[in-house]
Amino acid sequence: MKALLLLLILTPVFAFAQKPAPVCKCPETMYVSAGTKPSKMFNFSNGRSIGLFGYEETELIKGRTLYSEFVLSVCGAKKIIRFWGAVETCDVSFAHDTLYVKTLYDFPVGKNMKPEYLPWTIERIYFSGGGAVRDLTIDPAIPRYTPTQSAKVLSLYRHTPNENGDATIDLADKLLVSAMSGSKKAKYLLVNFHKKFTMLDGHPAEEYDTIMGMLNLWDKTHR
- Average pLDDT for residues 111-126, to the nearest whole number? 97
pLDDT in tens, 92-107: 999 999 999 999 999 9
Q: What is the pLDDT of residues 19-70, one digit of tens each?
A: 344 578 777 777 866 567 888 999 999 999 999 999 999 999 988 999 999 9
Q: Pick from 177, 166, 100: which is nearest to 136 by CA?
A: 100
Please state the rounded mean pLDDT for residues 63-85.
Answer: 92
Query: Percent of the chain, pLDDT > 70?
Result: 88
The DSSP annotation for 1-29 comes to -HHHHHHHHHHHHHHHHTPPPPP--PPS-
Least Cα distance to 177 among 168, 186, 185 occurs for: 186
Closest CA to 203 of 176, 169, 175: 169
In the chain the first and final C-alpha atoms are separated, in Å, by: 81
118 contacts 104 by C-beta, under 8 angstroms? yes
Q: Which residues pair with 105 in a beta bridge?
A: 118
Average pLDDT over residues 168-190: 98
Confidence of residue 215 (pLDDT cuts 50, 70, 90): very high
- Predicted confidence band of residue 4 (pLDDT cuts 50, 70, 90): very low
Say what the pLDDT of residue 28 is.
Answer: 74
State the pTM of this model.
0.84
Interstrand relation of 82-95 and 40-43 (parallel, antiparallel or unpaired)? unpaired
202 near 217, Cβ under 8 Å?
A: no
Strand ranges for 108-174 from DSSP E: 116-128, 131-138
Q: How does pLDDT run across 192-206, given as a tens digit for each residue? A: 999 999 999 999 999
- Report, as an integer, the average pLDDT of 108-128: 97
